[in-house]
Structure 1
Amino acid sequence: MNVNQTGKLMKTAELEGGLLDNWVARAQGVKGVYMMYMPSTNWEHGGPIIERERISARPLSNDGVHQWGAVGETDDCERMQRGPTALIAAMRYLVAREFGEEVPC
């Protein structure tokens, strides 16, 4: 992975908000106004990606902490990405699948 000019990388599992949406846009080849594209919080944007990419999300509970896990249809749990919502977990999975476990921030 090419590192940006600052040399800093961020774990895909920690991406959220606009940064996560930006990486999803890159993975999907979306160009243009990213402020209107919010697949990690808007089901109208993220839902079709989940269907098209055949991503499965399910609730997880560990020691009383509720979160979501997401994987592709042919992946095992080792590739699972987690998040506080199904959309965030699924979009993190998509970015990790396309770009790896770390991306430039």
Structure 2
Amino acid sequence: MKTSNLEAAQLDYWVARAEGLSNPRVEDGLCWVAYIDCDNKQGKSVEIDAAFSPSTDWAQAGPIIEREDYCLPRVNTNAGALHHGGYAASTPAGFCFYGNTPLIAAMRAYVADKFGEEVPDEI
């Protein structure tokens, strides 16, 4: 599948893979990952599932965007880029991806940085 076509839970899944998060999977239209909960009543580490959605959640995507030093300009739709979406994400490695939101554009660029312009359709 082309990285430029990833969206929603599929995009979140590939970001989770790029981040090396534990057990990423798509269920019920969401991406889920496993976290270790060290602060629980049993007093021992327990693995819990949590939704992971950096394509819509600034708290999850922001650290990636900052760490990777992405530029997220709004695309001038008068320049004929309307079909690409309203935002572009350019990376230091030279990738440029588009999306209807800055987070979608940035997460597509991040996946491309880590895996290339195509990823297996394994979901």
Gaps of 5+ in 1: 1-9
Residue-by-residue CA offset, 1:28-68 (whole Å, 9 max, x unaligned): 11114336110000001011110111111110023472510
1:54 corresponds to which of 69, 78, 82: 69
Aligned residues: 93
Give distance in 2, aligned partners of 1:30 and 1:71.
24
Whose Rg is larger? 2
1:1-105 counterparts in 2 under 5 A? Answer: 10-32=1-23, 33-34=32-33, 36-63=51-78, 65=82, 67-72=86-91, 74-76=92-94, 79-105=95-121
SS, match of residue 86 in structure 2: strand
Equivalent residue letter for 1:82 = Y
Give distance in 2, aligned partners of 1:82 and 1:29.
24
- 2:97–2:106 contact (8 Å) kept in structure 1: yes
- 2:93–2:113 contact (8 Å) kept in structure 1: no
Equivalent residue letter for 2:75 = L
Equivalent residue letter for 2:5 = E
Q: Give the TM-score normalised by the residue count of structure 2.
A: 0.69
> What's the Cα RMSD here?
1.6
User: Which residue does the alignment assign to 1:7?
Assistant: none
Q: Give the TM-score normalised by the residue count of structure 1.
A: 0.80
Higher helix share: 1
Give distance in 1, aligned partners of 2:60 and 2:71.
16
Give distance in 2, aligned partners of 1:102 and 1:12.
5
Give distance in 1, aligned partners of 2:70 and 2:20.
18
Deviation at 1:17, TM superposition (A): 0.4
Higher relative contact order (CA 8 A, sep 6+): 1
